[in-house]
Structure 1
Amino acid sequence: MNGDSNHCAITVAAESGRSWSYRIQSRFWETPTLLKPSAGTYSCYIFRVPKSRVDSNDNAYKPRIVSIGPYHHGQERLKLIEQHKPRVFSTMLNRSIGRVGPIDYFNAIASWETDIRESYSETLDWKTSDLIEMMILDACFIVELFHANRRVTPSDDDNPLFYTPRIVSSLMVDLLMIENQIPFFVLQEIYTLSKSPSDADCSLHDIALEFFNSALRLPEKDLQRYNRVPNITHLLDLFRLCLVGEFKPEEPPRVDKELLQLMPSTNQLLLEGIKFKQANSKNLKDIKFDHGVLQIPSLTIDHFTGSFLLNCVAYEQGYRYCSSHISSYVILMRCLMSTAEDVAVLSQCRIITNFLGTDKEVVRFFRDVAKDILFNIKSSYLAEIFGQVTHYRRNKWRLRWAGIKREYFGSPWTFISAAAGFTLLVLTIIQAFFTVYPYYRPKK
């Protein structure tokens, strides 16, 4: 009896095994859609932000007023701008009557369809005509917005989308979100087609950087340096380069492994004799440490730069073919700003200009941005800075001298007390000398 039961159980198990084997093998050929297999290639650079980062600051990755590209297309809250995009395209066509028509735009962008689909980490389940239409309308909207910023479209001066400050400021934030991008080559194609003779000497880089720079106010030389940089992936990448420079693979700096340590907070470094100074450059790569002085470029922290930094970090952490300089900078600032008192010191040194809120909110902001960053201190462009600061801090004589300066020269009153004490000591020694001297050298 037991033998029959065991035989039936083995038969059932064998059938279940064959059924499972068939099901699992049939799934071998299913293509993932949420993160397609080619998402890690050089040509894929527009992707969803990981949920762990979204949970920390959802508003930084979700467009508030305009949808660009497929990821947020059709959402109810973004319909206001969506309704205006065909009208904006019509304005562009009216300006180029006799030169190009709608079919020219369609054919130009359709020739890039494969490259467009490869740019996104998710499989785009869109018909060709719908995908090309979305790309054309989105790209035309962006190019016309840039033109309006330069006041080169006087016939459309009454457009409320391009000349209402509240809307324009929201557009600046939305157009630099990683999930709200279209490939830069699509923008370039539309700009080339719509370009008038008066724009012959003006590139897409020029008008894009001019538009966004009204928020960051970078020096003109920094903008001109990147107005012809090739291989731009999208608008977020273009403007990120203005802060960190073009990506060039470099040999990691040779620093003693024992010195590669993260920095303590600003106030702790002050106690150890390290001073802070605003660097002359706006490029975040230009951080220097020299003779106990840490020089850091100034940065204004507000809603725009906050969202921009968060999306730059998301881009750098997701696309391995670009530098991770913004991520390294964020780690440094997270180390330096542990408390509101640290923020206050950096604000006094004009390294941080806080328009975000209280100093505590700045601390919380950098804590959120630094969350889940994969940071390799050895390959970071700041590795040498970390090593130099650690080496400086380990010098015991410097630490003792820093303690003496803090204790006796930290304020005018302590300095006066120390000076008075020193003067009294000198006078006492002189008095003792003249008291004792006659005994050793009596007058003859």
Structure 2
Amino acid sequence: MNNNDHVITMDQEVELMTTQMKQPPKLLHKLAGKSSCCIFRVPQGLVDINKEAYRPRIVSIGPYHYGNKDLEMIQEHKWRFLNDMITRIGKPLKNFMDIIVSMDVQIRESYSESLDRFSTNELAKMMVLDGIFLIELFRKVGKLVQSDPEDPVFKMGWVSPFLTRDLLKIENQIPFFVLQKLFHESNSDAKTLPSLILDFFNHMVDRQQQVLKKYKNLDGKHLLDFFRMSYINAKNRISDENSEKPPLTLIQPATKLVIAGVKFKANHQADSFLDIEFLNGTLLIPKINLDDFYSSFILNCVAFEQCYHHCSKDITTYVVFMGCIMNTSTDVSLLTENKIIENYFGTDKEIAKFFKYVGKDVAFDVKKNYLQGLFSEVNDYCKNGWHVGWAGFKHTYFESPWAAISAFAAFMLLSLAGLQTFYTVYPYYHK
């Protein structure tokens, strides 16, 4: 065969290029920058940091991991949950399908990746099956509907933690408006959907009921965004007048801040782990239980905030702040001793490494974030001469009992030497 048989002519190349130009992007479609697009594939740069953090381990929700053979076990139980609901409320399944079919365009625009591989009916089936599964799960856990006391989804201890974490993964979401529509169509509950969701996740995080009541009408783009928003305090919002301030520098690690006179204290009155304050030289930081749930939640929130331009970056700011003050295992130990970190994660070194890598290479605006005032106040405090000098003196001479004893002994020797000099010189001048 002549090699020239495989040579593409210029005209053919131009034709191929023209065809390619007319093909819309599929992996990140051209509407992905709109506020309606809120469910993303995680960028490879973030995946490289922690490959297991963003992929579901036990259940697939939405199109990105649909059909994964490793997730078929819970997939089969979705049909059982759907049958439970349809049997209980007596409405035909077609009602729910028709509702979701009418929202086809809106659903497709919620995903950064093209869903052309799914027909309208296929996509609607997926949304109904996954949406009803979530709603029934929340109802069963919340004791609003009767469930089988031997249901393996609830009786097998290993299922719950994996399932709960999977529901808050960025690639494992369906639009919140889909959940709201399905909930409204099947609703006979006294509770709102937000209340049901918060009660469900409260089995993992144990927040006070008076805090949860504030969010009984909270909205979100999807479950991950909804739960993320329940930690964000409106009073932390940055104003336009502060956005033009000159860039700030990040604060020093905890051990260096202590030498500069800064104290650390757990803030037990805070509603959220984001509510950090700096008062009279003391950093008040809410306690956080660092475990598999929170580490997974934080990682996926940061990924969402990096992908979605139209949301605040509060979790990213928190990660950057914690990465600043926990540079080494010694810094982590200091926060642990002050009851700020409850470590179920691993060693102190692993916690320091976690925050270091989560905050690595993320887009972060130093002069426009909810802690910008706190960064400035801490840095200004550390530049103040007198208390920095006094803190350094205490750290040097009173850090340990032996150092304090040595300093006291030196002081006594100097005092006695001074007295001896005085009594030697005084008689001479007295005469």
1:186 aligns with 2:206: no
**Range with bigger deviation, 399-408 or 298-307:** 399-408
Task: Report 1:18-97 matches (<5 A).
Answer: 20-97=13-90
The one-letter amino acid paired with 2:231 is: L
1:104 aligns with 2:74: no
Partner residue of 1:114? 105
**Kept after mapping to 2: 8 A contact 1:252/1:378:** no
Q: CA 1:134/1:344 → structure 2, altered by over 3 Å: closer, same or farther? A: same
Q: Which has the higher helix share?
A: 1
1:162 counterpart SS class: helix
| Aligned-partner residue type, residue 367 of structure 1 | K
Structure 1 residues 148-163: aligned runs within 5 Å: 148-163=140-155
Give the match's secondary structure for 2:207: coil
1:260-286 deviation line (CA, Å, top 9, x unaligned): 111222212222222211123142332
One-letter amino acid of the counterpart of residue 345, structure 2: L
Distance (Å, rounded) in 1 between the aligned partners of 2:15 and 2:93: 50
Q: What is the aligned partner in structure 2 of residue 279 from structure 1?
A: 267
Question: The residue matched to 1:179 in structure 2 has which SS?
Answer: coil
CA offsets, 1:269-320, max 9 Å, x none? 2222222111231423321222322221111111111110000000001111
Counterpart of 2:251 in structure 1 is 263
Instruction: Answer whether contact 2:54 2:171 (CA < 8 A) is retained.
Output: yes
Find the residue that maps to 1:239 and give its secondary structure: helix
State the 1:432 CA deviation. 4.9
Q: Where do 1:163-202 residues align within 5 Å?
A: 163-196=155-188, 199-200=189-190, 202=191
TM-score by length of 2: 0.91
Show structure 1 runs of 5+ residues with no match. 1-14
Is the partner of 1:122 in helix, strand or coil?
A: coil
Task: Kindly provide the CA deviation profile for residues 18-59 of structure 1, in whole angstroms up to 9, marking residues without a partner as x.
Answer: 655444333332111111110110100001000111122111
How far off is 1:399 after superposition?
3.0
Q: What are the superposed Cα offsets for residues 221-274 of structure 1, whole Å, 9 maximum, x if unpaired?
A: 3222222124x111111111122235956326368637x111222212222222
- Partner Cα separation in structure 1 for residue 229 and residue 65 of structure 2: 25
What is the TM-score normalised by the length of structure 1?
Answer: 0.89
Tell me how many residue pairs correspond in the alignment.
422
Equivalent AA in structure 2 for residue 304 of structure 1: F
CA deviations over 1:342-368 (Å, ceiling 9, x no partner) = 111111111111111111211221122
* Paired-residue identity, %: 42
Query: Residue in 1 aligned with 2:401?
Result: 412
Q: CA RMSD in A?
A: 2.3
The answer to whether structure 1 residue 397 and structure 2 residue 389 are counterparts is no
1:242 equivalent to 2:230? Answer: yes
Conserved? CA contact 1:273–1:399, under 8 Å:
yes
Question: How far apart, CA to CA, are the structure 2 residues paired with 1:235 and 1:190?
Answer: 14
